Amino acid sequence: KAKTAPSTGKDQTDSLKRFHKLADEILVQSTQDALFIQRPVWRDRALVSISTNAAGSQQYRRALEITRLIPQPEVRTDALVKIAELQARGNRQAEATATYEEAARAVASIPLDDPRAVLTGVLIDNLITVGRFEDARKCTILYPDNARRYIALGAIAESQGRRGQSQSAMAWIDSEIP
Protein backbone atom coordinates (compact mmCIF):
# COMPACT_ATOMS: atom_id res chain seq x y z
CA LYS A 1 0.00 0.00 0.00
CA ALA A 2 1.10 3.47 -0.81
CA LYS A 3 1.26 5.79 2.13
CA THR A 4 -0.32 9.19 1.84
CA ALA A 5 1.19 12.19 3.45
CA PRO A 6 -0.65 13.36 6.54
CA SER A 7 -2.73 16.43 5.91
CA THR A 8 -1.53 19.66 7.39
CA GLY A 9 -3.56 22.21 9.27
CA LYS A 10 -3.37 24.48 6.22
CA ASP A 11 -4.87 21.74 4.01
CA GLN A 12 -7.73 21.28 6.44
CA THR A 13 -8.30 25.03 6.66
CA ASP A 14 -8.36 25.33 2.87
CA SER A 15 -10.80 22.43 2.60
CA LEU A 16 -13.03 23.97 5.23
CA LYS A 17 -13.01 27.32 3.43
CA ARG A 18 -13.95 25.64 0.16
CA PHE A 19 -16.73 23.74 1.90
CA HIS A 20 -18.15 26.94 3.45
CA LYS A 21 -17.93 28.74 0.11
CA LEU A 22 -19.77 25.91 -1.62
CA ALA A 23 -22.46 25.83 1.08
CA ASP A 24 -22.97 29.57 0.72
CA GLU A 25 -23.18 29.29 -3.07
CA ILE A 26 -25.87 26.63 -2.67
CA LEU A 27 -27.87 28.91 -0.37
CA VAL A 28 -27.57 31.80 -2.81
CA GLN A 29 -28.62 29.63 -5.76
CA SER A 30 -31.53 28.16 -3.77
CA THR A 31 -32.69 31.65 -2.88
CA GLN A 32 -32.53 32.78 -6.50
CA ASP A 33 -34.49 29.70 -7.55
CA ALA A 34 -37.11 30.33 -4.85
CA LEU A 35 -37.60 33.89 -6.05
CA PHE A 36 -38.74 32.52 -9.42
CA ILE A 37 -41.71 30.76 -7.81
CA GLN A 38 -44.84 32.52 -9.04
CA ARG A 39 -47.13 31.84 -6.10
CA PRO A 40 -46.25 34.12 -3.16
CA VAL A 41 -47.26 31.56 -0.52
CA TRP A 42 -44.96 28.86 -1.92
CA ARG A 43 -42.16 31.31 -2.66
CA ASP A 44 -42.21 32.63 0.89
CA ARG A 45 -42.39 29.13 2.44
CA ALA A 46 -39.40 28.12 0.29
CA LEU A 47 -37.48 31.16 1.56
CA VAL A 48 -38.35 30.24 5.16
CA SER A 49 -37.03 26.74 4.56
CA ILE A 50 -33.82 28.00 2.99
CA SER A 51 -33.18 30.57 5.71
CA THR A 52 -33.89 28.04 8.46
CA ASN A 53 -31.47 25.60 6.89
CA ALA A 54 -28.85 28.34 6.66
CA ALA A 55 -29.30 29.12 10.34
CA GLY A 56 -29.20 25.41 11.18
CA SER A 57 -25.72 25.32 9.65
CA GLN A 58 -24.74 28.41 11.65
CA GLN A 59 -24.75 30.72 8.63
CA TYR A 60 -26.81 33.29 10.49
CA ARG A 61 -25.85 36.30 8.39
CA ARG A 62 -26.99 34.58 5.22
CA ALA A 63 -30.12 33.28 6.95
CA LEU A 64 -31.14 36.81 7.90
CA GLU A 65 -30.40 38.14 4.42
CA ILE A 66 -32.70 35.51 2.94
CA THR A 67 -35.39 36.13 5.53
CA ARG A 68 -35.44 39.84 4.79
CA LEU A 69 -36.48 39.01 1.22
CA ILE A 70 -39.83 37.73 2.52
CA PRO A 71 -42.35 40.56 2.02
CA GLN A 72 -45.17 39.28 4.26
CA PRO A 73 -44.47 40.04 7.93
CA GLU A 74 -46.44 36.97 9.05
CA VAL A 75 -44.18 34.61 7.15
CA ARG A 76 -41.03 36.63 7.86
CA THR A 77 -41.82 36.37 11.59
CA ASP A 78 -41.85 32.58 11.32
CA ALA A 79 -38.35 32.55 9.84
CA LEU A 80 -36.99 35.14 12.28
CA VAL A 81 -38.26 33.24 15.32
CA LYS A 82 -36.67 30.01 14.06
CA ILE A 83 -33.35 31.76 13.42
CA ALA A 84 -33.39 33.49 16.81
CA GLU A 85 -34.09 30.21 18.59
CA LEU A 86 -31.14 28.56 16.86
CA GLN A 87 -28.94 31.51 17.80
CA ALA A 88 -30.10 31.36 21.42
CA ARG A 89 -29.53 27.61 21.63
CA GLY A 90 -26.14 28.09 19.96
CA ASN A 91 -25.09 30.45 22.77
CA ARG A 92 -25.14 33.52 20.53
CA GLN A 93 -27.26 35.59 22.87
CA ALA A 94 -26.52 39.06 21.47
CA GLU A 95 -27.35 37.93 17.95
CA ALA A 96 -30.48 36.17 19.19
CA THR A 97 -31.60 39.36 20.92
CA ALA A 98 -31.26 41.36 17.70
CA THR A 99 -33.15 38.70 15.73
CA TYR A 100 -35.92 38.46 18.33
CA GLU A 101 -36.24 42.27 18.20
CA GLU A 102 -36.55 42.10 14.42
CA ALA A 103 -39.23 39.40 14.83
CA ALA A 104 -41.12 41.63 17.28
CA ARG A 105 -40.99 44.51 14.79
CA ALA A 106 -42.34 42.20 12.08
CA VAL A 107 -45.20 41.14 14.38
CA ALA A 108 -45.95 44.76 15.25
CA SER A 109 -46.21 45.60 11.55
CA ILE A 110 -49.04 43.11 10.99
CA PRO A 111 -52.14 45.27 10.47
CA LEU A 112 -54.83 42.76 11.52
CA ASP A 113 -55.38 42.00 15.21
CA ASP A 114 -55.97 38.26 14.97
CA PRO A 115 -52.86 37.29 12.96
CA ARG A 116 -50.80 39.69 15.08
CA ALA A 117 -52.13 38.06 18.26
CA VAL A 118 -51.39 34.55 17.00
CA LEU A 119 -47.82 35.43 16.04
CA THR A 120 -47.32 37.31 19.29
CA GLY A 121 -48.19 34.05 21.03
CA VAL A 122 -45.73 32.14 18.87
CA LEU A 123 -42.99 34.67 19.63
CA ILE A 124 -43.70 34.64 23.38
CA ASP A 125 -43.85 30.83 23.50
CA ASN A 126 -40.50 30.65 21.75
CA LEU A 127 -38.94 33.18 24.13
CA ILE A 128 -40.24 31.15 27.07
CA THR A 129 -38.80 27.97 25.56
CA VAL A 130 -35.28 29.41 25.45
CA GLY A 131 -35.63 30.98 28.92
CA ARG A 132 -35.82 34.63 27.86
CA PHE A 133 -38.59 35.56 30.27
CA GLU A 134 -37.96 39.30 30.42
CA ASP A 135 -38.08 39.53 26.62
CA ALA A 136 -41.29 37.46 26.63
CA ARG A 137 -42.88 39.88 29.12
CA LYS A 138 -41.90 42.84 26.95
CA CYS A 139 -43.53 41.24 23.91
CA THR A 140 -46.92 41.02 25.62
CA ILE A 141 -47.54 44.64 24.59
CA LEU A 142 -47.95 43.33 21.03
CA TYR A 143 -51.27 41.75 21.98
CA PRO A 144 -54.28 43.82 20.87
CA ASP A 145 -56.11 43.30 24.19
CA ASN A 146 -55.46 42.98 27.90
CA ALA A 147 -57.10 39.57 28.29
CA ARG A 148 -54.51 37.84 26.11
CA ARG A 149 -51.74 39.91 27.68
CA TYR A 150 -52.65 38.69 31.18
CA ILE A 151 -52.93 35.07 30.03
CA ALA A 152 -49.44 35.33 28.51
CA LEU A 153 -48.02 36.94 31.64
CA GLY A 154 -49.45 34.09 33.69
CA ALA A 155 -47.83 31.54 31.36
CA ILE A 156 -44.51 33.34 31.63
CA ALA A 157 -44.68 33.39 35.43
CA GLU A 158 -45.65 29.70 35.52
CA SER A 159 -42.73 28.79 33.27
CA GLN A 160 -40.34 30.77 35.42
CA GLY A 161 -41.59 28.93 38.48
CA ARG A 162 -41.10 25.56 36.81
CA ARG A 163 -37.51 26.51 36.08
CA GLY A 164 -36.77 27.42 39.66
CA GLN A 165 -37.12 31.17 39.17
CA SER A 166 -40.29 31.69 41.17
CA GLN A 167 -38.76 34.48 43.27
CA SER A 168 -37.97 36.44 40.11
CA ALA A 169 -41.51 35.89 38.82
CA MET A 170 -43.04 37.07 42.09
CA ALA A 171 -40.82 40.16 42.10
CA TRP A 172 -41.93 41.37 38.68
CA ILE A 173 -45.54 40.48 39.38
CA ASP A 174 -45.45 42.60 42.55
CA SER A 175 -43.80 45.51 40.74
CA GLU A 176 -45.55 45.46 37.35
CA ILE A 177 -48.99 43.87 37.55
CA PRO A 178 -51.79 46.16 38.71
Taking the C-alpha atoms of residue 135 and residue 138, their distance in angstroms, rounded to an integer, is 5
Per-residue pLDDT, 10: 73
Contacts 24+ apart (CB under 8 A), 64-72: 64/99, 64/102, 66/27, 66/31, 69/31, 69/35, 70/44, 71/40, 71/44, 72/40, 72/44
Q: How confident is residue 59, by pLDDT bands cut at 50, 70 and 90?
A: very high
Taking the C-alpha atoms of residue 9 and residue 16, their distance in angstroms, rounded to an integer, is 10
Query: Residues 57-80: what's their mean pLDDT?
Result: 94
In contact, 83 and 51? CB cutoff 8 Å? yes
Query: Residues 67-71: what's their mean pLDDT?
Result: 95
Taking the C-alpha atoms of residue 175 and residue 106, their distance in angstroms, rounded to an integer, is 29
What pTM did the predictor assign?
A: 0.82
Query: Residues 151-172: what's their mean pLDDT?
Result: 82
Q: How confident is residue 2, by pLDDT bands cut at 50, 70 and 90?
A: low
Taking the C-alpha atoms of residue 48 and residue 66, their distance in angstroms, rounded to an integer, is 8
Length of the chain: 178
Per-residue pLDDT, 6: 60
AA identity, residue 99: T
Q: In whole angstroms, how far apart are CA 149 and each of 103, 107, 128, 152, 153?
A: 18, 15, 14, 5, 6
